[in-house]
Structure 1
Amino acid sequence: MQYTAILAALAFGSAANAHMQMSFPIPFRSTLNKAFTNPDYSMTSPLSGAAQFPCKGYQTDFADTTGAGAPTATFTAGGPANFTVIGSAVHGGGSCQASLSYDGGKSFTVIHSYIGGCPLTNGQDFALTIPSDAKTGAAMFAWTWYNQIGNREIYMNCASVTIAAGSKRDAPTVAFSARPGIFVANLANGCTTVEGKDVNFPDPGPDVTGTPTGDGTFTGTCAAVNGIGGGSASSGSGSSSGSSASAAAPASSAASPVASSATTLATSASSAAASGGIFATSAASPASSAAASSTASASTPVGTATGSVSASANGQCAGSQTCAGQTQFGSCCSQWGYCGDTTLHCGTGCQSAFGTCGSPASNSTGSAGSASPSTAARDLSSRQYLNGRVGRAGGARVL
């Protein structure tokens, strides 16, 4: 009997340690933080339910600024940062979001989304940039993870950090106040992620790493949990408002025609025709391929914004814009899928084959304006994602 009990305890301990946890910044109640007198020895476990959301219920520690809630890292507004995930079972990776909270965990603002490959290995670092207009001072840094393989779960760790003022604070492409809140699913709130697929966040925000694998990555309509999240509906495509999910295809700053803090937003063609999202064919014409290669350098703006296209944080071009020549969709600002009415969206990135920014499409048969990012660009993005690690000395300081 005693032997059976010991085996059961060992099995439970093994299961509790079989998942992943954030190790940097060090989260509340982590065994890695010696400031905690009552650590959580199952930090790698998923949230058990809504009662543990957010932060496994440990967000209350944030108020103890000199004890359990003392900051464990310092990041600089507008500067590079990173977080690290450790553990023994990556469950096929999945999708993650990094976010900041300034109100003690009542709301979380997404600062970077990772679609697929998060995480793939023990000790994996994930690079990001702290928004230049992020408020300085005490903040809560959160990591949320939706595993690809296994039970439909949500993992979340939160840490106390300090956001320091940067020496140079360029105006952001998307204001911090306009960034989305975190995606919330798998908490009996009306929506569930689909096993075997990396979650395509319905509103990933302007900074995204990874490329969506397809549509239908979650089902149902996501209701808010404890006042956080809500409003996301699958509509068969894993995006909000029934439109197709935007695909994020990050590229190096040298290849991106927008500010380095912005993410290259491309699109998936699988359901755009049915839902009115951005559209890009799987192959580019020679003319548009040549135009695409020219974006690697600072090219002269081809189109001028007219104000008829609304800026979009998630690349959906106001929900109905796409490549010129497709009257059933409308115009697209650039070969890379930048959508908006500013020079950052339409200036250096706008290609003549895709029409003038904000102008209506001219015909319904032309396809010269339809293109997808080149294989080389996608390969570069993958290498940048897997190898783009930011050392703690480069953007974060352990306290």
Structure 2
Amino acid sequence: MYTKIASSFLLASTAVHAHMHLNYPATFNASNNPHTTGPSDPFLDYPYGCCGRTTPMPCRGYLDLIELPEGAPVATWAAGSQQNFNITGIGNHYGGSCQVGFSVDKGATFQVATSYEGNCPHRNAGDGPDGQNFNFTIPADIPTGNVIFAWTWINREQEFNMNCAAVTITEEGAPEQPVSSAIAATSTQAATSSTAAAAQPTSSSATYTLEGCTCTCTDSDCTCKCPKPNVARSLVQHKALLQHLEHLKLRDSASVSESQIKRAADSVAYSSRPQMLLADIDNGCESVKTTHELKYPNPGPDVVQGDGEYPLAMPTPANKCGY
């Protein structure tokens, strides 16, 4: 699928543009990537083809780094383990849909790990990285070694973005060691925030860590403790309450347990997982604009449902979108 698409394309500039990128694991040529040696890419936030610029596919043209020191892995993950990624930027566009996946053949193909249908980025959690953390499971039978991790995002403005990072996959159950102290700090912060952001409370109350504050929430209020002025702390309390209410809604609507979902995902061989969707890149496949968030035609076995604020719709036409 990926090798059949032209190596680059040009889209007309639009009035509003996506402004988020993969923060952890650090994407190729990002300012927070410890292996970046020259000027970092200032356009990682921008959708493909934005602003009259040609954007190479896939991974913004950085696959040529994977055999070089600049493309060294930035994280080590065990097959079958629970991990997280986070995103950041200057505009979350009030959500969208995302996929994460892997390439084990140096970017020739990208197969889905998890699909997030709606509310990705988290629409009420700001521009990250705090609050923009997402959990996922590494496929249990993914080949070990150095691979490419990919994140894609399609928003309601029919804009597509894709960032990629080099990671090392170890055997299931192997200890995970970050590549550098800088990455270790990022990973620890992301994991802490992700645990809070993805918590599934068993009662109507729960505790969250958000923007450096510790917030205790009920179904009607949050109290946050942190060294922030009253106005800033009140804003954090509001964000925490919105996040908590969203988690309660997801908990109440869940019909299967996380362990059941993991077993179902593990039952699908990595080699049988679908390709990550490419849409809104002048390839004939388009998402519905403005009124809907994207429903993936081939989401794979691990799907995270959004908050339901927008209805979901498949991209069209089917023959151009892989279904």
TM-score by length of 2: 0.60
Query: Which of 38, 54, 71 in structure 1 is aligned with 2:58?
Result: 54
Residue range with higher mean Cα deviation, 114-123 or 23-32:
114-123
SS of the aligned residue for 2:84 comes to strand
Matched, 1:133 2:141: yes
Match 2:173 to one of 167, 191, 200: 167
CA distance in 1, matches of 2:67, 2:23: 21
What letter is aligned with 1:206?
Answer: P
Residue in 1 aligned with 2:316?
219
- How far did residue 33 of structure 1 move? 1.5
- Name the aligned partner's letter for residue 52 of structure 1: P
SS where residue 147 of structure 2 aligns? strand
Map of 1:324 onto structure 2? none
- Report the Cα distance in structure 1 between the residues aligned to 2:319 and 2:280, rounded to whole angstroms: 9
Q: Which residue of 2 aligns with 1:209?
A: 304
Q: TM-score, normalised by structure 1?
A: 0.49
TM-superposition CA deviations, 1:18-62 (whole Å, max 9, x none):
710111000001111142213201110111188522111112211
Asked if the contact 1:189–1:222 (Cα under 8 Å) also holds between the matched residues in 2, the reply is no
Is contact 1:144-1:156 (8 Å) kept?
yes
What secondary structure does 1:88 align onto? strand
Residue number in structure 1 paired with 2:35 = 35
Deviations 1:202-236 (A, max 9, x none): 0100001015754644222464xxxxxxx52xxxx
Does the C-alpha gap of structure 1 residues 77 and 42 become closer, same or farther in structure 2, counting only changes over 3 Å? same
The SS at the match of 2:60 is: helix
> Which structure exhibits the higher relative contact order, with contacts defined as CA atoms closer than 8 Å and separated by 6 or more residues?
2
Question: Residues 71 and 222 of structure 1: is their aligned pair in 2 closer, same or farther, counting only changes over 3 Å?
Answer: farther
* Change in CA separation of 1:78 and 1:22 when aligned onto 2, cut-off 3 Å: same
For structure 2, list consecutive stretches of 5 or more residues without a partner in the other structure.
Answer: 1-12, 175-262
1:315-326 correspondence runs (5 A): none
Please tell me whether the aligned partners of residues 190 and 222 of structure 1 are also in contact (alpha carbons under 8 angstroms): no
* 1:183 aligned residue: 277
Query: What code does the residue aligned with 1:198 have?
Result: E
Q: Which residue of 1 aligns with 2:197?
A: none
| Cα-to-partner distance string for 1:291-330 (whole Å, 9 max, x where unaligned) | xxxxxxxxxxxxxxxxxxxxxxxxxxxxxxxxxxxxxxxx
Contact 1:73 1:162 in 2 (8 A): yes
Aligned length: 208
- State the one-letter code of the partner of 1:203: N
* 2:146–2:167 contact (8 Å) kept in structure 1: yes
* Structure whose CA Rg is larger: 1
State the distance in 1 between where 2:64 and 2:34 align.
18
What CA distance in whole angstroms lies between the structure 2 residues aligned with 1:117 and 1:215? Answer: 11
Q: Which moved more, 1:71-80 or 1:190-199?
A: 190-199
Q: Distance in 2 between matches of 1:217 and 1:203?
A: 10
Give the deviation of 1:87 after TM superposition.
Answer: 1.3
Query: Structure 1 or 2: larger strand share?
Result: 2
Which one of 74, 82, 106 corresponds to residue 76 of structure 2? 74
Secondary structure, aligned partner of 1:96? strand
CA distance in 2, matches of 1:139, 1:60: 13
Cα pair 1:30 1:43 within 8 Å, conserved: yes
Structure 1 letter corresponding to 2:173: S
Given candidates 113, 117, 120, the residue that maps to 1:118 is: 120
Q: Specify the SS of the correspondent of 2:91.
A: coil
Q: Deviations over 1:101-138 (max 9, x none)?
A: 01111100100000011102321111001011011110
Q: 155, 162, 166: which is aligned to 1:156?
A: 162
2:103 and 2:110 in contact (8 A); partners too: yes
Asked if 1:91 corresponds to 2:185, the answer is no
Q: Hey, what does 1:5 align to over in structure 2?
A: none
Q: Secondary structure at the match of 2:271?
A: helix
- Could you tell me which amino acid in structure 1 is paired with residue 46 of structure 2? S
277, 289, 293: which one pairs with 1:198? 293
Contact 2:59 2:164 in 1 (8 A): yes
Change (3 A) 1:115 1:215: closer
Q: What is the rounded CA distance, in whole Å, between the counterparts of 2:33 and 2:319 in structure 1?
A: 34
